[in-house]
Structures are given as structure tokens and as C-alpha cells.
Amino acid sequence: MKPDLTETEKARQGFLYRFDAQLTEERKRAQQIVFEYNHFKPSDIEQKAILLKRLLGAIGENCIIEPPFYCDFGHNIFLGNDVFANVNLVILDCAKVSIGDDVLIAPNVGIYTAKHPIDPKQRKQKYEYALPITIGNNVWIGAGASILPNVTIGDNSIIGAGSVVTKSIPPDVIAVGNPCKVIKKLSCKECS
């Protein structure tokens, strides 16, 4: 624990923190924007794009997040160009989530930066911490996959449906399972 930092600074640096008034307000702001986003008509494409720009830390060109979509803060999410996320994407972005260009995210995917202490006394005191997640370029994440804190998924890789990604995955591979493991190295021809 770092007493000289604000709770927001602790969260961003991976230290134990507790929700304070500032974090609570940031989360309420995101929840309001997400609520509005999830209730637009499918034809309200421009309005949804405006809300995503207000919500996210950065968003590239031609990005689509199909509602419903849920996140904690939004401002810790950074999307590259041509990202497509299907329905029921959940991103617990207590730490930074970076998603590269040309990423496909299937339905019911969870990207979770939040963690809780192993020490039961700290959990009882409502401490938590968060670690970043990075998803490279040209990645495909299958339906129902869970991406856990402190994971990097390398460029061109495929994460199989239902996988639980607990450790980083290298580029140019197919990885599946719980826990998610590499099952095939992709050839250069398959990656281009």
C-alpha cells in the first residue's frame, strides 16, 4: 500500500486501493454513458460513436462495439483501428486495456484487469488491485473467452472459444483451453 498516492494513482500503478469518492464518481460517469449507449436504436450509429469517444481513452477508425457493452471506467480502454466486438463484451478496466488494430472479439467475452488480494483481511477491508491487459494487432478472441489481469496476447494470435487466458500468449499462435495453452504455431502464410 502506498499512502502518499491517491486511490486513483494507486489503481493505475497496480497497488492495492479502495474505492473513494473520485473513483466512485468516475465509475458512475461511465455507467451513465454505457447505459445510454446500450439503449440507442441500432440505426443510431453516429450517436453511439459520439458516446464511445466520450467514454474511452482512445478509439481508432471503424470500430464497432455491439450492445450490450459494459465497462468500469472506460477511460482506461484504448482501441486501435477496425476493432469489432460482438454482443455482451465486459471490460473491467480498473487498469489499462490496450486493443490493437483489426481485432475481432466474439460474443460474451470478458476482459478483466481487476484482482482481489489473497489475504482475507485485505479483502474484508475492500482492497483490490488491477493489472493491465494488452491485445495485439489482428487477434481473434473466440466466444465466451475470459482474459485475466496482466496478460498480453501477441499479434495474429487466435484465442479459442471458452478459453481462460491466465498467462501471456505469444504472437502467431492458436491457443485454447482452461487454462489457455498454445496448441498450434501459425505459419507466415496463415498470419498474412
Residues in the chain: 192
Domain coverage including residue 165: 7-184
* Positions marked catalytic: 116
Structural domain total, the chain: 1
pLDDT of residue 192: 57
Strands 114-115 and 97-99: unpaired
Distance CA 140, CA 155 (A): 10
In a domain, 25, yes or no: yes
Q: For the chain, which ranges sit under pLDDT 50? A: none
pLDDT of residue 12: 86
pLDDT of residue 2: 59
In a domain, 118, yes or no: yes
Judge whether 105 and 129 are in contact, CB under 8 Å.
no
Alpha-helical regions (H) of 19-161: 21-38, 45-55, 120-124
Distance CA 104, CA 53 (A): 19
In a domain, 1, yes or no: no
pLDDT of residue 4: 86
Q: What is the mean pLDDT of the chain?
A: 95
pLDDT of residue 190: 60
In a domain, 175, yes or no: yes
pLDDT of residue 175: 98
In a domain, 192, yes or no: no
The per-residue pLDDT for range 62-111, each reduced to its tens digit, is 999 999 999 999 999 999 999 999 999 999 999 999 999 999 999 999 99
The tally of CA atoms less than 13 A away on the side-chain side of residue 29 is 14
In a domain, 28, yes or no: yes
Residue 156's domain is classified under what CATH number? 2.160.10.10
In a domain, 189, yes or no: no
In a domain, 156, yes or no: yes
